[in-house]
Every structure is written in C-alpha cells, then in structure tokens.
Amino acid sequence: MMQSDLLTHWPKLLENNKEMTFDLQKIRAETPGINNRIHFNNAGASLMASPIHHAVLKHLDLEMQIGGYEAQDTVFSALEHTYDAIAALINCSRDEVALMENASAAWSSAFHGMALQKGDRILTAEAEYASNVISYLQMAEKKGVKIDVIPSDTMGQTDVAALENMIDGKVKLISISHIPTNGGLINPAREIGAIARKHKIPYLLDACQSVGQIPLDVEKIGCDMLSATGRKYLRAPRGTGFLYVRKNFMEQLSPPFLDLHSADWTSKTTYKIRSDARRFENWERNIAAVIGLGVAVDYFMNIGVETASKRLCALAAEARTGLSNIRGFTVHDVGPRKGGIVTFTHDRVAPAEIKNILHNHDINITTTPITATRYDMEKRSLNILARASFHYYNNEEELAKFLNVLQDLQK
C-alpha cells in the first residue's frame, strides 16, 4: 500500500461505517471467523469484524512505513475520535473517558484511586467477579476496610431493598458487576445507582460484560465510575478498554500511577495532574488497537444498540429453552432480566468435557469455575459451569447445531 493510501484511510473507513444498518447477511460476511467455527464464547472475546481488523492493520502498516510516533501524529483525528465514540456509547462527556489497556486496569485505577480508610465499608454483590473481590481483600489487608456482600433477592439479582438497609455512615463505596461472568443475570444497576445518589455514596460499576451487550447510559445508571473492555461484546482488539469517571467526582480520586502524560512536571519539586479522565492513562499505548476500539464502537452504534442487544438476548433465551428441553441438562441462569450469557450443567458429563465435545464439532464455548464468582457459586453449591455466550452475528442455524450436538449426549 502506498503511503498516500494509508494517510487517507481513516476518514473513508469512518464514513463507510456511518452507512451501516442491521443486515445479518452483511454482518456475517464481515465476520470471517464464522467460516471456521461457531463462536459462542463472546463473553470471553468475540470475533472481530473485518472493518475493525482492517483499521488495526492499516495503522500497523503506517507505523512500519513512517515510524510509530509519526504514525500517531498522522492519525490524530482517528485516535481522538475513539473518545467521542465511547462518550456517545455511554452518554457522557469525552473528558470523562480514559482509554485503558483492559477492563482490569480501568477498574483498578478507579478502585485503588479511592481514599479508603480503616473501618470503611465496601458493599458488593454476591455475583461479584474474582478480580474485584481480590482487590477488596487486598484493601482489607492493607487498610482495614470491611467487605459486606449484598444478598440476592428471590429472583437471584442484587436485592435493592437489602442494599438500602445495609447503608450507614461507614459505607464509602458501592461496587458491583453489572453482568456477572457466570450467567445471564443483569443486575439492577439503575436502581442501585438511585440509592447511591440518595445517600451520596460513590458507585463503581463493572461493565466488562455489559458494554456492547446491553444499552448503557451513565446518566440513567447514576454511577460515578464505570470500567469496560473492548474485546468482548464490542468486538474490538484485545488489549483495549476504557474508564468513565464522572466529572464532579474526578477530584475525589487519586490516580495510583502518574507519568508525563497524566501529569505535568511544573517545577523541580512539583507536578500538576490533568483535569480530565486522561489522568488515569499513561503515555505508551497500542495506537492501532485504540483506533480499532473506536471503529468497533462505531460499528456497534451504527448497527443499533437496542437492535443488537435484543437479538443476542433472544438467541440466548432460545438456547435456555432448548437446553431445558434436553434430558440431563440444567440451566443455571438467574434474575428477572437476562442477557446473552447462558450457563448450564449435565447430570453425567462434566462441563470441561462438554466444552471438548463441542470443540470437536467446531463450536466454541468455555467453562466458568467457582474461583471466578465464589460468593455466588458457593451459595448455590456450584463448582464449575459450562458457558455459552451469544452475539448478534450468531444465527439460528448455529444454535440448532449446538443443541443437536448436546442432544446426542443422551445416547
């Protein structure tokens, strides 16, 4: 490719994406991975669409041709567009967005940026993700904070009434996973946000699984911080993610790591932190992947957030029904509202073996162990689950093959 072609690639790519509507045939044509396998591991990492893949490769080509820093200068507008795309996706200001290398880095930057002290209480959900709980435990060990788990209601979601009854003057953080890794549950993030605002308690939402899977609006949710990844339902490259921090909450956080990007060295003995969310970023990043993230958000938004979400949730609902009708299978998803993740077991065949059987039929799923969501799985006496997670680019024929393979386990 000529250098002139590389320099003009970005605006054309973004312009072409604007013309897109939901067309399953076109979407599947732009998802080459479906020709190799049936991919039901989207809650792990989804299949990248070709426009996203091309965007990443074009920038890598540009770096190879003219140099990394020079390439970054050339695609400045495309890089900056990623902030705008994410802001539109979650309904916030671009100054409230920090681009991170993954959801863990985003979540940790927010959590470890809080000035928690001995005796402070953290309220979290039963279905909380292991990485988050490990950080709570680390904070308890280092600073003496207390971790209190909000019980689930009879439907399996975080009990909002119980949450409010647990609040006192020592509660300094409400932190929950919106959609847990071990099932289809969608926690009532908006109702939790209303309580957090009412009592003026900081609210951190782990949206690692929910971004790209269901609509997100930080104003309606009422969270002060939100962490997310690119590789799952947004279909972006691995090594991408973002952190949202509400503008009027920014000064309550102290970034755990600073460099010459997140702060200015103002004199021999002083520095000044950036005023926007980029205070949580650092200088070196994978520019190609960041541009890919922006294109991925555009791709998703142009398909239609509601349309994409309804389709993948409907496929998951069909899978739950189909599995429930096959002798020996039990579906373990809880909650009044469910998303695109389906977890299940068989009364004779272990989840790891189910995964292998499906793998041999070119179908990708995964397993989720007790160590990922111990509070919840210990309570429900579960050790390991098979997990299939559906996306809008999957179709009914793929679902039918999945169910037919599992049907054969009865023989």
Residue 133 identity (one-letter amino acid): V
Which domains are assigned to the chain? 78-302 (3.40.640.10), 305-410 (3.90.1150.10)
User: Is residue 189 predicted with pLDDT exceeding 60?
Assistant: yes
pLDDT at 217: 98
Kindly report, residue by residue over 216-230, the tens digit of the pLDDT. Answer: 999 999 999 999 999
Phi and psi of 346, rounded to 5°?
-120, 150
The confidence score (pLDDT) of residue 21 equals 64
SS (H, E, C) 271-309: EEECCCHHHHCCCCCCHHHHHHHHHHHHHHHHHCHHHHH
Q: Global pTM?
A: 0.93
Mean pLDDT estimate for the chain: 94
What is the pLDDT at residue 12? 39
> Which residue, 394, 306, 295, 212, is CA-closest to 18?
295
pLDDT over 70 at 403, yes or no? yes
**What is the mean pLDDT of the segment spanning 49-74?**
98
| Proportion of the chain above pLDDT 70, given as a percent | 95
Interval 96-133: pLDDT, tens = 999 999 999 999 999 999 999 999 999 999 999 999 99
Whether pLDDT at 350 is above 60:
yes
CA nearest to 332, candidates 386, 260, 404, 253: 386
User: What mean pLDDT is predicted for residues 3-24?
Assistant: 48
Q: Which residues contact 138 (CB under 8 A, 6 or more apart)?
A: none
Nearest to 98 by CA among 270, 293, 296: 293
pLDDT band at 410 (very low <50, low <70, confident <90, very high): confident
Q: Which of 59, 55, 71 is nearest to 299 (CA)?
A: 55
Model confidence over 287-344: pLDDT tens digits? 999 999 999 999 999 999 999 999 999 999 999 999 999 999 999 999 999 999 999 9
Confidence of residue 22 (pLDDT cuts 50, 70, 90): confident
Tokens found for residue 238: 């691995």
- Is the alpha carbon torsion for 353, 357, 359, 360 positive or negative? positive
Residue/partner pairs of 166-172 with CB below 8 Å, 24 or more apart: 166/123, 167/123, 167/195, 167/199, 167/201, 168/121, 170/119, 170/120, 170/121, 170/146, 171/120, 171/121, 171/122, 171/123, 171/199, 171/201, 172/114, 172/116, 172/120, 172/121, 172/122, 172/145, 172/201, 172/202
Q: What is the mean pLDDT of residues 130-151?
A: 98
Whether 6 shows a pLDDT value over 60: the answer reads no
- In the structure, what pLDDT confidence band is assigned to residue 16 with cuts at 50, 70 and 90? very low
